[in-house]
Amino acid sequence: MSLFSKLLAMMAVVTTVTALGGLQNIFFNSSEKDLLSLYSNHQPATLFLDQSDWPGVIKAGLDLSDDFKKVTGDALPVFNYTSNICTSVHGNVNTAIIVGTLGNSSFIDSLVSSNKLNVTEIEGKWESYISQVIENPAPCIQNALVIVGSDKRGSIYGLYDVSEQIGVSPWYWFADVVPANHNEIYVSKSIVKVQGEPSVKYRGLFLNDEQPSLGGWVQAKYPEGLYNSYFVHEFYVNLFELLLRLRANLLWPAMWASMFGVDDPENQYWANYYGIVMSTSHTEPLMRATNEWTTFGNGSWDYSTNKDNIVEFWRQGIIRSKPYDNMWITGMRGFGDTPITGGVEVGLLENVITTQRELLSEYFNGTDITDIPQAWCLYKEVQAYYQEGMQVPDDITLLWVDDNYGNVRRLPVANETYRAGGAGMYYHFDYVGDPRDYKWINTISLEKTWEQMHLTYEREAKNYWILNVGDLKPLEVPIEYFFSMAYDMDSWGQINTVMNWTVAWAGREFGAYYDDVEEIADIMDLYGFYASRKKYELLNTTTYSIYNYNEAATVLEQWSNLTDRAWAVYNKLPKDVQPSFFEFILHPVVAGYTVYDIQLSAGKNNLYAGQRRNQANYLAQYVQQRFQDDANWKNEYDTLLDGKWVHMMDQTHLGYDYWQQPMRDTLPPLAYLQIGEDNLAGSMGLTVEQSEGSVPGDDQYNAVAYSNNTLVLPVLDPYTKSRYIEVFNRGIFDVFFNATPENDYVTVTPSEGVILATNTSIWNSIFLEVTVDWDNAPDGYNIDYIDISSNSSYGFFGEPQVHLPINKTSAPTNYTGFIESAQEISIEAGHFSNNVSNNDTYYVEIDRYGRTLSGVTLFPVTADSQEATDDASYLEYNFYSFTVPQYGTNITVYTSPSLNANPYRPLRYAIAVDDEEPQEIQIVIDPTDPTAMPAGWETAADDGVWIHNTTHTFDGGEHVLKLWALEPAVVFQKVIVDFGGVVPSFLGPPETYYQG
Ligand SMILES: *[C@@H]1O[C@H](CO)[C@@H](O)[C@H](O)[C@H]1NC(C)=O
Ligand SMILES: *[C@@H]1O[C@H](CO)[C@@H](O)[C@H](O)[C@H]1NC(C)=O
């Protein structure tokens, strides 16, 4: 938003809200002031289009007319006009909508020269527009909403902005959003909507990895083009329109089994007609698809041995694409998106680029080569050539990349920040390759997208953002979020605006049908939070711990609650609105829950089988039933709206065993017990929290640590609520049991129970909660005993017993801070005691960032390197400890999986307890081989955190832990102080008791 429109927005603050598209100037309610009716009493305004304008503008104009019909039942009558607008109508027009692009519409130009329209704010600008009401723009017209674009897409965005404001979602077709009916539509006469240049100049998406889903769908829905491809213009025009409605402007077309320029000779024509800038993927120079080389190329794709043929191939690409708007990809990779050769080939690549530019100059003679948009993508090893000192002409946009997992690898530094061609980012929401594909459904956290793309923008990579969206369809919401940021960083680049955006989005799509749009937004946002913890493709039966911290059960319950909430909204929506809610929200939520349930319940089955519990068999069946649910849910998608999206969910997603997708969905191994036989140690078994083993009887986990009739609970202290023992049936006889603590101050609830052998349901075990009455417990550390007796035989073994270590500790009652419990302290980074700002930097908490609560990061992201001193900005965490481990206390810090976007300033943090000398930790250590990823990167990317440890020596009592981010872009997520009690889990221990 320009300053001018900002001021206007502030002046009009009572009547306007910031919608996704910026300033609101369209209203449905006539009680607003100063309104002009665009539709009321069944009277639509008259739309005037100039046939000398760009075809894309005419097309968007006709779409607007049609959008009015979707909303009101009546289309706008459309007239062609020339310089004398009154000759195109007979008689007078009360209200008109007049569209024109500066320089392409003589009428608009005449409004400017007669001072009726002031276009100073947009003239000569990129993709800008003004939308304002002008009185008497012509003798025959009383009032007109005039939409004037600085260029063709300026006009197009101005038109689609009205469409969006009257309630037609960009996703009306691609996600079946139903426009709400209105019988009155007004435009404000006083608000001048000046929409300035987009924040990022080129904003596009890449259809990629499009088999089996998108590819299957286009094959079912569109006519066959040439070379067995179905990616024909009848498909693409829908996508072009979507892109423009989303305020994007560029496309990397599908290229797995298709060739945009030849599959359908009309593809390029229509892209240009709509106003889309075409480009090709990072690996396809000069507008020619990889498969074109396979199909038409001569010899090998080896520039050092087959230069003539390759140059001729490129020449044809230029000749074919020259009539259209293109962003030319330069450089070269090896065949099939692989490195060009084994080593780093700086000289060869420089030669490639020189030749490519000579070719462009030859065919665009008269155009300065520096005025032809070109980009060079620094993907994987290509980044290494650049790091090795390869010279790239200054006008070529350097397209930096992420690690395919949404962590940007490199951003402009030093003089790269003011190159003429600027810089950009090739970012992934979908990926095929090592370490693992992720291409089924949405796994994107908008908060993380915000954090990384905000950084990208602030560090001057803002000429070109291109997003790999896989099949497009299951990623609707994150795609729009990405384009909203790219279009308007003033609004969406601000801290913690993700929820504002999501609420605005939910309001646009469902606000007319459902009052509580915050609920819809929260479901959507929580979905991204849960789904981004681990890609579905990487999730397995042991990702989350079943027996430590109740982790798997907690996570499953979160998914289950989310699913209930999504169904509750869905069931209250009108029938015709349900499909869009299904596509955006209900499908991914239920699908995600199902896959979580399958994996985590299979994990439980495996664990229970090891403990010989009858429930294992029930779980094996349950998992198979959930597997069927998964298939049925896909079928729901296939049959939605009479099969409109058939095949769109064909992606396999269960049974990954290496990076590539399984050829068929496959369940993890499930175990079955012989339930016709009793257990050698009797029908009653028990286990305890944090143990895989069970007693009585032999078992691999008991052999070393415990005896075959004793299990030991983790320590219980006053700051740990309780511990649990689980009793189950693992034989053929019904079990009656009693739990008897040795001392009165220990309580076990329930203390007795019955577990039938035949009832094998998932609930068929009993959790016994163990608590201590601390007033009556002895001081310090003691071991208590709980006898578990039963009617069961124990075979050759004895009656089982549970040992309960108790530790009566106490911190002063007036102490404020985290208190050690069970020999650990776990702290969410956002729960600092003090946030100390110095040196023009400060810490910002990013809500719902990361895996468990939030992230805390240093702002501004352009700040200098920091030092770990009291003069710098730092975070303080108060804690109280009791245990003093012999070899020091280990402190683990979880930070975001970010990479060293500035190689000269690697990500670092510092940590100190009390007044000790701060220890500095470099989070990411770049390898010397520039083609390699940093050690540990794969785990960090997969798990969503870097994990670093430091050791500290301090006594029991009150302490202050201090954390410094020594560079911006370090995002703290969690801090764990381990006095010996921490056990393995995925998310880390749940947060410890906080007093105060
Ligand atoms: C406007 O011009 C186009 C292109 O010449 C033509 O197809 C269309 O019918 C015209 N519309 C009117 C209302 O005259
Ligand atoms: C047009 O607008 C610009 C800036 O918004 C202003 O400086 C200029 O004076 C205006 N021109 C006229 C003729 O009003």
Q: What is the spatial distance between Cα 736 and Cα 758, in angstroms, rounded to a whole number?
A: 14
Whether 759 has a pLDDT exceeding 70, the answer reads no
Residue predicted with more confidence, 707 or 107: 107
Q: How confident is the model at residue 704 (pLDDT cuts 50, 70, 90)?
A: low
Candidates 755, 535, 574; CA nearest to 179 is 574
Q: What is the spatial distance between Cα 250 and Cα 271, in angstroms, rounded to a whole number?
A: 9
Q: What is the pLDDT of residues 388-414, one digit of tens each?
A: 788 899 999 999 999 999 999 999 998
Whether 1 has a pLDDT exceeding 80, the answer reads no
- Who lines ligand 2 at CB under 6 A? 4, 115, 118, 120-121
Tell me which residue has its CA closest to atom 14 in ligand 2. 118
Q: How confident is the model at residue 6 (pLDDT cuts 50, 70, 90)?
A: very low
Contact at 8 Å (CB) between 946 and 897? yes
Q: What is the spatial distance between Cα 730 and Cα 582, in angstroms, rounded to a whole number?
A: 42
H/E run at residue 42: none
Ligand lying nearest the CA atom of residue 55: 1
Q: Indicate the pairing of strand 93-101 with strand 46-50.
A: parallel
Q: Identify the weakest region by mean pLDDT among 19-23, 633-637, 915-919, 949-953.
A: 19-23
Residue predicted with more confidence, 763 or 213: 213
| Six-digit token string for 451 | 């954090």
Distance 485 CA to ligand 2 centre (A): 29
As a whole number, mean pLDDT of residues 248-271 equals 96
Cβ–ligand 1 distance for 724 under 6 Å, the answer no
Candidates 609, 629, 630, 627; CA nearest to 618 is 609
Residue predicted with more confidence, 378 or 600: 600
Whether 808 has a pLDDT exceeding 90, the answer reads yes
CA atoms within 13 A on the CB side of 720: 28
Contact at 8 Å (CB) between 200 and 138? no
As a whole number, mean pLDDT of residues 627-648 equals 98
Distance 51 CA to ligand 1 centre (A): 8
Tell me which residue has its CA closest to atom 8 in ligand 2. 120
Distance 25 CA to ligand 1 centre (A): 29
Residue spans of alpha helices (H) in 511-550: 517-531
Whether 488 has a pLDDT exceeding 70, the answer reads yes
Q: For position 344, what pLDDT does the model report?
A: 55
Domains in the chain, ordered, with CATH? 3-195 (3.30.379.10), 202-495 (3.20.20.520), 533-643 (1.20.58.2150), 684-808 (2.60.40.10), 817-995 (2.60.120.1620)
Q: What is the pLDDT of residues 276-309, one digit of tens each?
A: 999 999 889 999 999 999 999 999 998 989 999 9
pLDDT-above-70 percentage for the chain: 96
Q: For position 7, what pLDDT does the model report?
A: 40
Q: For position 647, what pLDDT does the model report?
A: 98
Backbone angles phi, psi at 945, to 5 degrees: -150, 150
pTM: 0.96
Q: Identify the weakest region by mean pLDDT among 9-18, 429-438, 718-727, 807-816.
A: 9-18
| Six-digit token string for 346 | 């700086």
As a whole number, mean pLDDT of residues 796-825 equals 96
Tell me which residue has its CA closest to atom 12 in ligand 2. 118
- Which residues on neighbouring strands pair with residue 769, listed in sequence order? 724, 749
Candidates 270, 292, 366, 377; CA nearest to 327 is 377
Backbone angles phi, psi at 3, to 5 degrees: -60, -40
Give the distance from CA 655 to its chain's centroid: 23
H/E run at residue 411: none
Distance 77 CA to ligand 1 centre (A): 12
Q: What is the pLDDT of residues 30-89, one digit of tens each?
A: 887 899 999 999 999 999 999 999 999 999 999 999 999 999 999 999 999 987 889 888
| Six-digit token string for 872 | 């710098």
| Six-digit token string for 322 | 């020259």
CB atoms within 10 A of CB 312: 12
As a whole number, mean pLDDT of residues 465-494 equals 97
Candidates 438, 441, 457, 439; CA nearest to 449 is 457
Q: For 380-383, which contacts have Cβ atoms below 8 Å and span 24 or more sequence positions? A: 380/339, 380/931, 381/339, 381/340, 381/344, 381/931, 382/282, 382/331, 382/333, 382/349, 383/409, 383/410, 383/930
Q: What is the spatial distance between Cα 831 and Cα 875, in angstroms, rounded to a whole number?
A: 10
Q: How confident is the model at residue 668 (pLDDT cuts 50, 70, 90)?
A: very high
Q: For position 342, what pLDDT does the model report?
A: 52
Candidates 539, 580, 583; CA nearest to 559 is 539
Q: What is the spatial distance between Cα 25 and Cα 36, in angstroms, rounded to a whole number?
A: 11
Cβ–ligand 1 distance for 785 under 6 Å, the answer no
Ligand lying nearest the CA atom of residue 65: 1
Give the distance from CA 935 to its chain's centroid: 24
Mean pLDDT, the chain, as a whole number?
A: 94
Q: Identify the weakest region by mean pLDDT among 144-158, 164-178, 329-343, 813-827.
A: 329-343
Distance 484 CA to ligand 2 centre (A): 29
